[in-house]
Structure 1
Amino acid sequence: MSTPRFLTLPPGVERIDVATSSEPIAALAASPAAGGCELYAAVLVPGFTGSKEDFIGVLQTLAQAGRRVYAIDLPGQYQSPGSNDPSAYSCGALGEAVANFIDSVDEGPVHLLGHSFGGLVTRETVLAAEVPLLSHTLMSSGPGGVTGRSETNARQLMALLGAEPTTELMAQLWWAYFEEPQKASGLPEEIHLFLRERMLGNHPLGLIRMAEEVTSAADRTDELAAVDLPKLVLYGEDDDAWTPEAQADMAKRLHAQRVVIPGAAHSPNVEAPETTASALTAFWNAAEAPYRR
């Protein structure tokens, strides 16, 4: 799971709830501390077991460029309510929820970014073509289901939760498998408590369905490549979810720009926030230049 290094919201960042046509979405909204939003907005989508807080380290810098930036919890994640309908957690359904959020904030065409599992979700938003977009960034994501240790971890979680997951079972698993390792990791107490609260805040059905999706998603790279939209593939040089080689190949197939973040692994937004924010701002500025307000 991505682990934010701090939780205090920077100046210009606020916690909001957005009522969409399907369900309310919890978000962090960042605006420039000084000046207006002269550039187009951006929407950031977290990965499996993640949340909007994973982007705290980049929000202020991204907004200071002169744009409104939203980071969200997907339905069933942390502070966004979930559904008891299993179909609500397919990549397609979650991609539609992202589109509903974009439509509800009414910012016009936006830059869309998906981190890890969020990349599998946002490509569905792009392919559905229901909302206007200026660019699509796949950050530490891949062409299909996750591989390696991350796949193993997701499948173990599915096995432990079983076919009928409950909040009570999730709590038992946290205390049996996660509490002591998290305490031993040396994380500040505030972060440790947040990680526990976030994990137990997930909708149990959403958690297991998203685990199924992140391990079994089909490769839709060729379909995504056919969409005429500026694309960026950005990842850490030491990514251990989808390999750097797999992501480089995906970027080539997408005819996308590619940025490798030195010293980062699977969460460059946390591990190298300033370098990541700089790369995103440069890409977004170039992508929207023909449409500049």
Structure 2
Amino acid sequence: MSTPRFLHLPPGVTPRKIETDRGMFAALEALPATGVVERWPAILLPGLTGSKEDFIAVLQTLALSGRRVLAVDLRGQYETPGLDDPAAYTCAALGADVDALAQRFGDGEPVHLVGHSFGGLVAREAAIDGRTKFASFTLMGSGPAGITGKRAGHARWLTRTIPLSGLEHVWHAGFEPEALAAGVPDDILAFLRQRLLSNSPTGLARMADEVVSMRDRTEELRQIEVPTLVLYGEHDDGWPAETQQEMAAALGADCVVVPGAAHSPAVEAPETTAAALVRFWNEAESHTLDTRAT
């Protein structure tokens, strides 16, 4: 379990509620310290049991590159309201939410899209569905199909346990013991509990099922021809490193391995992760502008 490095918002980062034609989404928005926005904006999507707070440590650095950056809670996650219908939490439905966010937040400009873990599967749906032309697409600690290994077992446990016992039981039986064993400080422990219990039970159970059952859509994504980055920690315990490397090669994507990081590079190695994203975004923008000029 990874936790945000700190919960106090850095300068230039403010909570927001983004209204779209698909509902309201809770977000953290980062702006350049100078207030001058010179580059295209970016949207960051968290993983299955995460939230917008997982990106706190990178938001200020990303914004300093001259762009607005938005980290969001997906539908039913933490501070974004959910629905009782399980169909609202398929990757396709959540991808449509991302399209609505991109069109609202981008305000006519191309938007860089980053998805972490399960958020990568959601972001992929938005990239493929054709509703939005993204400036670039980044899979962060995410893979071509359903997650495998220990994390897959945990997701299946969530799918079974939530409908029977509820989120309070999930916290006490799974999340709390793991956090205590990792020595998580009391203030962050309280945040993690509040975050988990604020999730939509219907949403979390359905998303847990989605993260293990998603089919491989690499070939479809390759045909989109959007600049793509595959970024993951060298000790990632989600999708195997070789799986992510093979996916990057199949996509013709840039591939960055973050030294010392595991499954959450934005938490575990924020400066390295932010630098890699900014470099990739700048190159993608330059390539797009050069292409338009020819």
Residue number in structure 2 paired with 1:229: 226
Report the AA paired with residue 39 of structure 2.
L
State the shift of 1:85 in Å: 1.1
Listed as ranges, the matches of 1:105-116 within 5 Å are 105-107=105-107, 108-116=109-117
Cα distance in structure 1, aligned partners of 2:85 and 2:157? 23
1:271-290 counterparts in 2 under 5 A? 271-289=268-286, 290=288
Match of 2:235 among 217, 224, 238: 238
1-structure distance, mates of 2:208, 2:66: 36
User: Amino acid of the residue matched to residue 289 of structure 2?
Assistant: Y
Runs of 4 or more above 4 Å deviation = none
Indicate whether 1:81 and 2:81 are aligned: yes
- Residue type matched to 1:95 in 2? G
Distance 1:177 1:240 in 2: 17
Deviates more, 1:88-97 or 1:183-192: 183-192
Aligned residues: 289
Asked whether the 8 Å contact 1:119–1:141 carries over to 2, the reply is yes
Asked if structure 1 preserves the Cα contact closer than 8 Å seen for 2:13 and 2:31, the reply is yes
Alignment of 1:183-202 (within 5 A): 183-202=180-199
Q: Distance in 1 between matches of 2:114 and 2:134?
A: 11
Distance 2:106 2:279 in 1: 24
The one-letter code matched in structure 1 to 2:121 is L
**Pair 1:187–1:28, CA change in 2 (3 A):** same
Residue identity matched to 2:205: I
Gaps (5+ residues) in structure 1? none
Conservation of the 8 A alpha-carbon contact between 2:127 and 2:133: no
Aligned to 1:291: 289
User: Aligned residues: percent identity?
Assistant: 54
Return the letter of the residue paired with 2:76. G
Q: Which amino acid aligns with 1:122?
A: A
> 1:91 corresponds to which residue?
91
Structure 1 residues 151 and 180, CA gap change in structure 2 (3 angstroms):
closer
Q: 1:120 to 1:187 in 2, by over 3 A?
A: same
**CA distance in structure 2 between the partners assigned to 1:121 and 1:160 by the alignment:** 23
Q: Which residue of 2 aligns with 1:145?
A: 146
Q: CA deviation at 1:184?
A: 4.1
Equivalent in the alignment of 1:161: 162
Do the aligned partners of 2:116 and 2:141 also contact (CA within 8 Å) in 1?
Answer: yes
Q: CA deviation at 1:23?
A: 1.3
Structure 2 counterpart of 1:34 = 34
**Following TM superposition, by how much is the alpha carbon of 1:34 offset from its aligned partner in structure 2, in angstroms?**
1.5
CA distance in 2, matches of 1:110, 1:98: 11
Structure 1 residue 180: Cα displacement: 4.0
Aligned to 1:117: 118
Note if contact 2:41-2:106 (Cα within 8 Å) is conserved in structure 1.
no
Provide the rounded CA distance (Å) in 1 between the counterparts of 2:268 and 2:61.
Answer: 15
Letter in 1 for 2:143: G
Matched letter for residue 242 of structure 1: W
RMSD: 1.5
Tell me how far 1:177 sits from its aligned partner: 3.4
Displacement of 1:35: 4.2
Kept after mapping to 2: 8 A contact 1:114/1:138: yes
Please give the TM-score of this superposition, normalised by the length of structure 2: 0.95
Task: Return the letter of the residue paired with 1:238.
Answer: H
Tell whether the 8 Å contact from 2:158 to 2:170 is kept in structure 1 after alignment.
no
Relative to structure 1, the CA distance from residue 176 to residue 258 in structure 2 (aligned partners, 3 Å threshold; closer, same or farther) is: closer
Report if the CA contact (8 A) 1:45-1:118 is conserved: yes
Q: Match of 2:75, as an amino acid?
A: P
